[in-house]
Structures are given as structure tokens and as C-alpha cells.
Structure 1
Amino acid sequence: MPTSSRSLLIALGCVAAATFAFMTQSPAEPAKAEAAAKKKIVFVAGKPSHAAGEHEHRAGCMLLAEDLNQSGLPVEAVVVTNGWPQDESVFDGAAAVVFYADGGEGHPAIKHLPKLREIAGTGAGIGCIHYAVEITKGEPGNAFLDLIGGYFEGGWSVNPHWDASFKPAKHEISRGIGDFKIRDEWYYHMRFREKMEGVTPILSDLPGPETLSRPDGFHSGNPEVRKAVLERKEPQHVMWAFEREASAGKGRAFGFTGGHFHKNWQHDDHRGIVLNAIAWIAKVEVPEKGVPSKTPTDEEMKANLDKK
């Protein structure tokens, strides 16, 4: 048989085999492949806290998760409520873990730091929203310096309510986000890594002197923050991105100190920059106009609120 004829038969045979394989493929297989291609994002929502409309961890996480799942991006977001999950298998294969919960001694991760380091060691991203950026000084604080680049340190950082004006830094997280001003409990004077190694400020502003009108205290003020803000006039970073070293999993992370008021998730830039950050730490390309999401209606904002 001529070489050209053999080549033609081989080619026809390959086409037939491919056609047969396609026709006999289980309908469930494409769905499995599509699911496997999606990046898994796990939200850890803290227990009920504060007054109604404040620290709405469950409702906030579910709102953000729904936005991500409806965005058209290759992600699958799931929400765990009431703190650290009893079944840790929910973290299996996670591309990112986001904490929105009370912090300090009650932080969901404080008793599970080895597991959190293990998760980060896979390259998974770690995100912390509002109070979840606070953890106790010492080993927990050192872990956060390694994993998210900074944290709220009692006696160093402060937690006033104030109107902050932002011009977001140029970064993938800031795509589609304009300048904006909003009132929140913007924590500042974070304890960051030495020389800001690996840390990129995203949202910064110089707080007014009224933010330090309270007496010195564990959360309210201290000599160092007064020098930084009142004397040296240093802008304070209330959102940052972090790229971890290879020894810590070479993943990404962010800290966002806003999120005290549930109503602020209706602000498109406030909500949008957090959605962008979550996509970024999951290593999903952030669209040029940002992660798409619709402004939640008043009715949608009432969904999943904690009974307080």
C-alpha cells in the first residue's frame, strides 16, 4: 500500500476513535472536568457578634460568595459558618481561604495555626476581613506576619470609626475601582513585616486627629501611633496585598480592615475591591473592569443576617 494511503487510513482511524470516545463519554464527565477546573474558595464566617447590621459575618460571606459564583469566573465559593469548621476536609483543594470573623483571642484560626500553615503551604491564598485581621501578639501574630504580611496588634494598632478617602494603588486588585470615600471602622497602624517585605499597600489615607481623640488603650491609642499620624503625617494602610515567600507556600494574601457595617457591601467600590482581592489570592485573573457584581438590593442585604 502506498505511504500516502496508509497515512490517510491512520488519520481516518484516529478521527473514528475520537468520535467513538466522544459518543461513549459519560454525560457527567464534562461536568466533573468543569468543576475540577474551578478554583475553590472557602469562606470562614465567624459567630454572631456586635449589634444588628455590624459584624454580619455570615450574611457578608454569603453575599460575597454568591457574587463570585455568579461572576462567570472559574471559581466555586463555599461558606462555613460559626467559625472554624468541624470537618476540615472542606479545605481540601482550596485555592483560597477567607476569614470574616471576630479576632483577637477568639479568632477562628488561633487554635489551628499549624493547619492554617499547612493550607498556606499548598499555595492557597489567605484573606482576612475586618476584625479577622486581629490576632494576639506572639506566635499567632508571627504566623500572620508570615501568612498575610501584617495584622492588628493590640497596643500598637487602633480601631476608630472615620471617613476615609481612597485613591487605590495600581494593582490587579484595584482593577475597575475608582477613588472613593466611605465611613467604616477602618483599623490602622497595622504591624507589618520588617521593611514591608512582600507587602503592597492597596488602600491608604491619613486619618484625622479626631481618630485619636480617645485615651490611650489596647485598641484606642498609643504613643507610637500618635507620633506616626499627628507628628510625621504618615498615611495609614487599611488594605494590603501580600506575596508569601516560597518557605511559606509562595501564595498570596490580603488584609482588609473595613467591613464593620454590613450596609457598606452595597457600595460598589468597597465590595468590588474585596471581590477582586479574593479572586487575586485564588490566582484567578481579575478582569480589567474588576470582578463583575450587581449592587445588592435592600431586600438582598437582609438575607442571612444573624439573629441578635
Structure 2
Amino acid sequence: MMAVLPAGSAKESRSPPSINSGFEATIPYKNPISGRLFPWTGRMPVPRTPGTATRHSIMRPSIANTVALAALVLSSIVSSMSATAAKPSPKKPLRLLLLWHSPDGHPRATHEYQAGMRIIAKALQPNRNLQTILVHANSPWPKGPELLDGADGAALFVSEGAKWISDDPKRLAAFRRLARRGGGLVGLHWGIGTRKAEPIAAYLALLGGCHGGPDRKYSVVTARATPATAGHPVLRGIRPFEVRDEFYYRLKFSRPSKTIIPLLRVPIDGRDETVAWSWQRSDGGRSFGFSGLHFHENWKRIEYRRLVVQGILWTLGQSIPEKGLDIPIAPGDLKLPGKKSPQ
């Protein structure tokens, strides 16, 4: 271990040390212990004979130790910074808006928007990557654009959804922004519809399918619903099943139609009609639609719950088990909200 000379010692006043580099230093040499400056002499260093110790041989380890210590500290700092930079920040959950309307004049136990969305919210609750927000979205819905701008996806179980989106230019613009950033979009039953034809084009650009215009068709049927595209993630765990429901059919779809993937077909008026679909949009986002769900009691069916919940998850890019989601339901989950007194 090399000795370190204390500052102010008598030995410190001797001739300045040489730099062991082959030449004298071109700048004044500073004693690392005392801080004293020595002028450059312009002389070559004096060779040392083996076994002899010089002032420089004592000082050199101190310089080396200092440099080594500085390098070690710098290395530790860099390593710490690298570790901090490499550590991934906590991933924020995806934010999904479940948009519902008040009763729209249909008989009780039909078009039950709020009750249906509560079932969906409960089914999605186990997914920790997801934050679901139930939103009462009756017009004028002034906070809507702001909510949409902070969302990763939106599902519509509302009255005349295609018309409702276009009713407010700011609302339509917010939905378009959500789509452009790859957000998931879902339309259920009357949430895909409009009585008038004018809102159809804007809605098709968002959802890919629409039940709209004066030529729209709908029918209450008891029929066998059949999965239309084998292997699609939304259809996992869903086999052909018989159901009674009011389906919208002869739907209008975005062009080119080959980009629309039919998911569920039902025979109506002698034709197999597409009543559920998925769409990989050109903006990179995904859309899903289902024209059933007129009758609230159909939430009892595991096929309906899987179709809707897995459709929502697909639009958000979430994984779906090979055998489909296990989505239990309790009798209390089907309870309808009580009648409210007039405001």
C-alpha cells in the first residue's frame, strides 16, 4: 500500500516530480495532495535505476488511485442511469367507454341499454389491462368529446347510434380522432342504426356496418345462428345455437366488402344474413358490430356474452382464450333498473 503524504510536510518542498510519459509535462504539474503547482522545466525525465524509489514513484499510485476511483464512480453512475432507463414504466390500462342511453320508448325488457352495459362491465372486470367506464351519453353530452379524446375504445349501446354520432359535429370529430389513433369501436343493436340515410356514410367509415335509411330491414325470428368465419378470435367457444331475437339484416357495409369479416349468420327471408361482423380498418384500428340484443333475456346465453365481450376485447387488441372466455352470470345481473320518476 502506497503512503500518502500529508499536506504541508517537509518533503513536499523538494524538486517537482517528473511525469513518467517519456517527456516532461507541457503544462504546470499540480500536486494532487497539496494542490501546489510546479512549472514545466522542459527537461527530459531522469531514468530510474531498478530498485530505486523516486518522489514520482510514490506520487504515481495516488494519481492512479484517484483516476481509478473516478472511473469507478462514473461507471456506477452510468450503470445506474442505464438500469433506470431500461426499467419499463408501469403500463397504463386501456380505457374503454361503455356508452348507454335512457329508455327510448321500446317495451320494457327490450333495448335495455344501461342494464346490458352493466353486464358487459362486470364481464370485463377481471381484465386488469382494462379500465371500463359506464357513461350515460344522452344528448347533448357536452363532455363527450373530452372523454373520447382520453379513451382507447368506445362501445355504443344507444338509440340510433349512427344518427347520434353525427348529431354533434364535435362528437363526430372526436370519434374520428379516436379511430385515427387506432381506437376500438363497437356498435350493438340500435347503436348501429339510423332512420335517415344522411348519417350512414360517416358511420360506415367508423364501424364498417350500419342499419340505416328508409330501406332498412329488421325481423323477430327464432333461428339457428351459425359462426361464419372459422378460427376468428371473437368466435372462440361459440358453436351454432338457436335463439329468438330481433335482428337487423341486409346491413350496409363499408367498401371494399372483402375487408368486412362476417362473424355470425342467421337465416332470414330465405337468405343467410350477416348479423355480426369484424373490421380491420385502414387506420390500424378495429371495429365490431352486432345487430341482435333486442331482448334483454338473451344475455342469459353464453354465446351472446362471449360474442359481445370477445368482440370488444378483439377491438382493443386483447388476447382471447382458445376455448373462449368463461363469463358466468347470476340472476341478479339480469335485473332491470327501476322506473324513474319524471325529472
TM range (shorter): 0.7 to 0.9
**Which residue in 2 is equivalent to 1:206?**
267
CA distance 1:201–1:105, shift in 2 (3 Å): closer
**Which residue in 2 is equivalent to 1:185?**
246
**Which residue in 2 is equivalent to 1:271?**
305
Distance in 1, Cα, partners of 2:338 & 2:163: 21
Whether the 8 Å contact between 1:62 and 1:304 is mirrored in structure 2 is: no
CA distance 1:105–1:167, shift in 2 (3 Å): closer
Aligned length: 264
Amino acid corresponding to residue 128 of structure 1 in structure 2: G
Amino acid corresponding to residue 76 of structure 1 in structure 2: Q
Distance in 1, Cα, partners of 2:167 & 2:281: 20
Identity %: 26
Q: Does 1:79 align with 2:134?
A: yes
Distance in 2, Cα, partners of 1:108 & 1:191: 17
Alignment match of 1:254 (pick from 262, 279, 288): 288
Whether the 8 Å contact between 1:48 and 1:56 is mirrored in structure 2 is: yes
CA distance 1:91–1:82, shift in 2 (3 Å): closer
SS of 1:274's partner is helix
Distance in 2, Cα, partners of 1:251 & 1:109: 20
Whether the 8 Å contact between 2:101 and 2:158 is mirrored in structure 1 is: yes
Q: TM-score, normalised by structure 1?
A: 0.75
Distance in 2, Cα, partners of 1:61 & 1:104: 15
Deviation for aligned residue 1:142: 0.4
Deviates more, 1:168-177 or 1:77-86: 77-86
Higher percent of residues as strand: 2
Distance in 1, Cα, partners of 2:339 & 2:316: 28
SS of 2:213's partner is coil
SS of 1:164's partner is strand
CA distance 1:306–1:204, shift in 2 (3 Å): farther
Deviation for aligned residue 1:199: 0.5
**Which residue in 2 is equivalent to 1:301?**
334
SS of 2:307's partner is helix
- Runs in 1 of length 4+ with deviation above 3 angstroms? 136-139, 303-308
Distance in 2, Cα, partners of 1:138 & 1:165: 30
| 1:73-152 correspondence runs (5 A) | 73-83=128-138, 85-88=141-144, 89-103=146-160, 107=164, 109-111=166-168, 112-152=171-211
Q: Does 1:288 align with 2:322?
A: yes
Once the two structures are superposed, what CA deviation does each residue of 1:247-275 show, in whole Å capped at 9, x if it has no partner? xxx21101100111111111111111100
CA distance 1:79–1:108, shift in 2 (3 Å): farther
SS of 1:184's partner is strand
**Which residue in 2 is equivalent to 1:174?**
235
Distance in 1, Cα, partners of 2:212 & 2:174: 22
Deviates more, 1:91-100 or 1:253-262: 91-100
Deviation for aligned residue 1:147: 1.2
SS of 1:159's partner is strand
Distance in 2, Cα, partners of 1:303 & 1:206: 30
**Which residue in 2 is equivalent to 1:245?**
282
Once the two structures are superposed, what CA deviation does each residue of 1:133-186 show, in whole Å capped at 9, x if it has no partner? 112555410012211112012333311111131221221110122221111111
Distance in 2, Cα, partners of 1:109 & 1:79: 21
SS of 2:322's partner is coil
Amino acid corresponding to residue 256 of structure 1 in structure 2: F
Higher percent of residues as helix: 1
Once the two structures are superposed, what CA deviation does each residue of 1:210-244 show, in whole Å capped at 9, x if it has no partner? xxxxxxxxxxxxxxxxxxx4xxxx41100011111
Whether the 8 Å contact between 1:59 and 1:306 is mirrored in structure 2 is: no
SS of 2:263's partner is strand
CA distance 1:68–1:306, shift in 2 (3 Å): farther
Whether the 8 Å contact between 1:125 and 1:282 is mirrored in structure 2 is: yes
Q: Any stretches of 5+ residues in structure 2 without a counterpart?
A: 1-63
Whether the 8 Å contact between 1:65 and 1:77 is mirrored in structure 2 is: yes
Whether the 8 Å contact between 2:195 and 2:214 is mirrored in structure 1 is: no
Distance in 1, Cα, partners of 2:134 & 2:226: 31
SS of 1:187's partner is strand
Distance in 2, Cα, partners of 1:105 & 1:145: 9
Distance in 1, Cα, partners of 2:262 & 2:162: 26
Amino acid corresponding to residue 299 of structure 2 in structure 1: W
Once the two structures are superposed, what CA deviation does each residue of 1:2-61 show, in whole Å capped at 9, x if it has no partner? 9xx99xx78x958x959x98xxxxxxxx9x935x1x111101101212122111101111
